[in-house]
């Protein structure tokens, strides 16, 4: 098991990868049994050659998408602390020792490299990216009540137990949103590390599409809100339907009936009845799904214990071989 593993997912980063790998290796000086892993995602330039020459361990993921790469990295690497950083040289490696310290000695499960509290909006020249980051951060803070200040940052540190219990479901750039919400909902310790962001160097292009990937991220937020808070979501929808039913029923059906003793608008009565029943059914579904979510959270705690036991076995096996 590695002490610290720096994981760099890359796709066509030949202009910056050599510098990033060398800087990461320098940041690991004094930390024994630590390595830099570059996971290539079908680059068609010299990224792999330059990364290997700089001293990185090269691995490959042939299914396209950042989520697929992270899934492969988390499955293959065992380490006490993981650092995930992009290969575009926008993140400062000077923060790595501090982030490692939080994971190894302060029990942090995820340390988030917070760009938005420092230089991001001055350095980032893409308006859509800045607006999208603000929108995603606000959405998650409203829906999930948390203190993560930069949801979409690609610079993070993780504990062993987070990595080995995190089910990677997303395939693309929505992966950062997914892992943030999982940590929040499973009561894991998340800390913020303010970093100085610098924009990509000239000739290096972002792989993130502002609109298509942004839409995927917002869709992911809605799906995860439904998965983690089904009763709250279905109750909101039910309340709207029931309110529409009552507002329509009273003036159109109930008051005329009191005056004449005749139901004059039968179709309105039927529609209002269906809206009311749908609202009641949604509340019932929300209660059932909420029970399932609570059960899943209890099972997650058992999985955490199993992962800790697995880590102890790995460490004991290593000592025995030595």
pLDDT for residue 201 is more than 90: no
**pLDDT at residue number 211:** 67
φ, ψ (nearest 5 deg) of residue 206: -70, 140
Model confidence at 148, pLDDT cuts 50, 70, 90, reads confident
pLDDT of 254-264, one tens digit each? 988 888 888 88
Yes or no: say if 101 and 184 are a contact pair by the CB < 8 Å rule: no
State the pTM of this model.
0.82
pLDDT for residue 125 is more than 60: no
pLDDT for residue 299 is more than 60: yes
SS (H, E, C) 284-313: HHHHHHHHHHHHHHHHHHHHHHHHHHHHHH
- Please state which of the ranges 154-163, 207-216, 288-297 shows the lowest mean pLDDT: 207-216
φ, ψ (nearest 5 deg) of residue 205: -110, 140
Yes or no: say if 103 and 111 are a contact pair by the CB < 8 Å rule: yes
Model confidence at 130, pLDDT cuts 50, 70, 90, reads low
CA 47, chain centre distance (Å) = 26
**Percent share of the chain, pLDDT over 90:** 57
Q: Residue 240: which residues within 8 A CB-CB, separation 6 or more? A: none
**pLDDT at residue number 217:** 80
Yes or no: say if 31 and 3 are a contact pair by the CB < 8 Å rule: yes
**pLDDT at residue number 306:** 86
**pLDDT at residue number 258:** 86
pLDDT for residue 103 is more than 80: yes
**pLDDT at residue number 213:** 66
Yes or no: say if 198 and 90 are a contact pair by the CB < 8 Å rule: yes
**pLDDT at residue number 272:** 93
CA angle 146, 221, 112 (to 5 degrees): 45
Instruction: Name 133's bridge partners.
Output: none
Using the structure block, give the residue that is written with the tokens 């009540």.
Answer: 145
**Percent share of the chain, pLDDT over 70:** 89
User: How far apart (Å, rounded) are the C-alpha atoms in residues 125 and 300?
Assistant: 41
Residue among 29, 150, 37, 149 nearest 100 (CA): 29
């Amino acid at each position: 098991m590695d002490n610290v593993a720096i994981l760099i997912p890359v796709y066509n980063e030949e202009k910056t990868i050599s510098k990033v790998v060398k800087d990461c290796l320098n940041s690991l000086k004094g930390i024994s049994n630590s390595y830099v892993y570059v996971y290539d995602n079908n680059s068609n330039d010299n990224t792999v050659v330059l990364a290997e020459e700089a001293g990185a361990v090269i691995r490959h993921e042939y299914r396209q998408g950042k989520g697929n790469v992270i899934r492969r990295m988390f499955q293959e690497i065992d380490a006490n602390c993981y650092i995930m950083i992009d290969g575009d040289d926008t993140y400062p490696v000077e923060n790595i020792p501090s982030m490692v310290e939080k994971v190894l000695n302060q029990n942090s499960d995820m340390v988030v490299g917070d760009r938005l509290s420092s230089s991001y909006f001055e350095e980032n020249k893409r308006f859509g990216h800045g607006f999208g980051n603000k929108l995603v951060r606000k959405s998650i803070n409203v829906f999930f009540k948390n203190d993560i200040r930069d949801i979409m940052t690609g610079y993070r540190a993780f504990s062993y137990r987070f990595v080995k219990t995190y089910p990677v479901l997303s395939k693309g750039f929505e992966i950062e949103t997914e892992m943030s919400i999982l940590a929040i909902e499973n009561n894991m310790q998340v800390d913020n590390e303010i970093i100085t962001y610098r924009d990509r160097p000239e000739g290096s292009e972002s792989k993130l599409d502002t609109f298509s990937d942004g839409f995927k991220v917002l869709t992911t937020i809605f799906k995860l809100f439904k998965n983690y808070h089904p009763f709250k979501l279905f109750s909101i929808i039910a309340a709207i339907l029931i309110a529409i039913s009552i507002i329509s029923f009273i003036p159109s059906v109930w008051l005329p009936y009191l005056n004449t003793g005749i139901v004059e608008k039968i179709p309105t009565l039927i529609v209002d009845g269906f809206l009311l029943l749908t609202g009641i059914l949604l509340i019932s579904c929300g209660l059932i799904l909420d029970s399932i979510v609570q059960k899943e959270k209890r099972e997650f705690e058992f999985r955490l214990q199993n992962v800790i036991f697995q880590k102890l076995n790995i460490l004991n096996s290593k000592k025995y071989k030595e």
